[in-house]
Amino acid sequence: MSSIKSKNEIRAVLILEILGRPKEHLVETLNNYIDKMNSEPGVVVENKKINEPTIVKDQKDLYTTYAEIEIKVEEAFLLILLTFKYMPSHIEVLSPDELILTHNDYNDMLNEITRRLHGYD
């Protein structure tokens, strides 16, 4: 596993939720997403926990589960890209306590958000 050492490094926990059937497919799909995330340039998955799928209330064969993924990214921009690409239901930044971004950093992030939003339209 590669190690990221950068003054702009960000550590965060992402929650990915999934719904479907059969329940074995949910765990396999989450593992595939996590492997894909870990192969993204500038991203390292430090830890993962995939919870056992549970049956959805009032359903006989529909399951739900979620994964808690601790990641390290080289810069804030990568965390924004992961947010759009993997659509986590929750993100918690663990460190650093403060981020200093240049106006170019903000420009890049805002333009990428705008570009992706226009792509959804």
Amino acid at 33: Y
Task: Report whether pLDDT(121) > 80.
Answer: no
Query: Above 70 in pLDDT, residue 87?
Result: yes
Residue 2: pLDDT over 80:
no
pTM: 0.84
Mean pLDDT for the chain? 91
pLDDT at 7 (0 to 100): 67
Under the phi-then-psi rule, with left for phi > 0, alpha for psi from -120 to 50, and beta for the rest, what region is 74?
alpha
* pLDDT value at 9 more than 60: yes
Q: Are 59 and 51 in contact (CB under 8 A)?
A: no
Helix (H) or strand (E) run with residue 38 in it: helix 23-38
Per the listing, tokens 């739900």 go with: 64
Helical axes 76-86 vs 23-38, angle rounded to 10°: 150
CA distances from residue 26 to 6, 35, 109, 114 in whole angstroms, order as listed: 34, 14, 31, 31
| Domains of the chain (ranges, CATH numbers) | 10-120 (3.30.70.60)
Cβ–Cβ < 8 Å for 4, 41:
no
pLDDT of 21-72, one tens digit each? Answer: 998 899 999 999 999 999 999 999 999 999 999 999 998 899 999 999 999 9
Strand partners, 95: 11
Q: Nearest CA to 21 among 63, 51, 49, 59?
A: 63
Q: Which amino acid is residue 61, in one-letter code?
A: D
